[in-house]
């Protein structure tokens, strides 16, 4: 019975009242969605923070592991050559490896700059020019 009463009152409501109700409902919906998005982003932010912290811890442990392996390489090589020479050889190999990685990294960064999406910007410029030509053509 209440459904009929609501339907009757809705049919008797003016268009202005219906638009006003729809506007209020839309505003409420948007606010609720924004609150939900805020809560979701906060949860994701917390999880991301924890994950990044764990990655940082893993990096620190890996750093010590690499140091141990470098030490083991020096000690192993010192069985064949003088200990100081073993340390120099391992150090040179590490520096050469670091140089190669730095050069490759520099090349990758130079290819990524400028940071602006150049191809997309060119495409947009072509689209704008095409629209301008179309408008100019239609006016002629």
Model pLDDT for residues 77-117, shown as the tens digit of each residue:
999 999 999 999 999 999 999 999 999 999 988 887 766 67
Is 126 a residue whose pLDDT tops 70? yes
Is 75 a residue whose pLDDT tops 70? yes
Average pLDDT, the chain: 85
Q: What percent of the chain has pLDDT over 90?
A: 42
Rounded mean pLDDT of 38-52?
Answer: 89
Confidence of residue 133 (pLDDT cuts 50, 70, 90): confident
Give Cβ neighbours of residue 124 (< 8 Å, ≥ 6 apart). none
Domain boundaries, the chain: 1-77, 84-140
Token duo for residue 35: 């609150």
Task: Give the per-residue pLDDT at 139.
Answer: 61
Handedness of CA 47, 48, 54, 57 (dihedral sign): negative
Measuring CA to CA, how many Å separate 2 from each of 20, 22, 139?
Answer: 22, 20, 59
Is 138 a residue whose pLDDT tops 70? no
Residue 77: how many other CB atoms lie within 10 Å: 17
- What span, in angstroms and rounded, lies between the C-alpha atoms of 92 and 98? 10
Task: Give the per-residue pLDDT at 88.
Answer: 97
Helical spans, DSSP H, in the chain: 2-12, 15-77, 83-112, 118-139
Is 25 a residue whose pLDDT tops 70? yes
């Amino acid at each position: 019975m209440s459904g009929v009463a609501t339907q009757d009152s809705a049919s008797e409501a003016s268009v202005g009242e219906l638009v006003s109700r729809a506007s209020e409902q839309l505003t409420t919906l948007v606010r609720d969605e924004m609150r939900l998005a805020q809560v979701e982003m906060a949860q994701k932010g917390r999880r991301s923070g924890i994950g990044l912290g764990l990655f940082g811890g893993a990096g620190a442990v890996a750093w010590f592991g690499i140091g141990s392996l470098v030490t083991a390489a020096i000690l192993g090589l010192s069985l064949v050559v003088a200990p100081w020479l073993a340390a120099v050889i391992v150090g040179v190999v590490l520096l050469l490896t670091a140089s190669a990685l730095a050069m490759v990294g520099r090349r990758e960064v130079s290819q990524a700059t400028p940071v602006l999406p150049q191809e997309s910007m060119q495409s947009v410029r072509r689209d704008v020019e095409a629209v301008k030509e179309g408008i100019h053509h239609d006016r002629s």
